[in-house]
Copies of this chain bind each other. A is one copy, B any other.
Amino acid sequence: MQTVAHKLSPEESLRAANTNFYAAFESLDLVQMEGVWAHDDDVSCVHAGSELLLGWEEVRDRWARIFANAKKVRVALSCVWLRVEGNAGWVVCTERVTTAFTEGFDDTRVQATNIFVRTDDGWLLVARHASPLPSAARTPVQ
């Protein structure tokens, strides 16, 4: 008896890649985060409220710093919207990011655009632009 695996549509696999990115974010595991990004000089990342990072080395180093400073991160997504154009695809979504530090935590709402490129290894993240939403309930608690 044969089982036929469901072949994901480009939109479904893009959505899965985006989910994997947030799983890597929550994992605080740099190896897992490395797995979702393309590793070239052309990747870019704008973290919420920050300057542009360009090239995998800069992007990776910032994730390492973020992960070193956080004890736990949870990201709840809403308004997830995506579009595929050939081997490029992007996801526009709203994140509620709750971060626990050694002392206190941070709760922010972030608008994000994540751009992926489809490769032989599946969709890889090549550009991320995140920005704080104006109504962000930024409540550091000590």
Chain A residues packing against B (C-beta within 8 Å): 42, 44, 46, 48-52, 54, 79, 81, 83, 85-88, 90, 92, 94, 111, 113, 115, 117, 126-127, 129-134
Closest residue on chain B to residue A48 by CB atoms: B131
Q: List the 9 closest A-B pairs by CB distance, nearest first.
A: A131-B131, A88-B88, A86-B86, A85-B88, A113-B129, A129-B129, A44-B92, A46-B111, A85-B117
Q: For the complex, would chain A's binding face be called helix, strand, loop or mixed by DSSP majority?
A: strand
Establish whether residues B51 and A133, one from each chain, have CB atoms under 8 Å apart when the complex forms.
yes
Establish whether residues B49 and A126, one from each chain, have CB atoms under 8 Å apart when the complex forms.
no
Chain B positions within 8 Å of A117 at CB level: 85
Establish whether residues B50 and A113, one from each chain, have CB atoms under 8 Å apart when the complex forms.
no
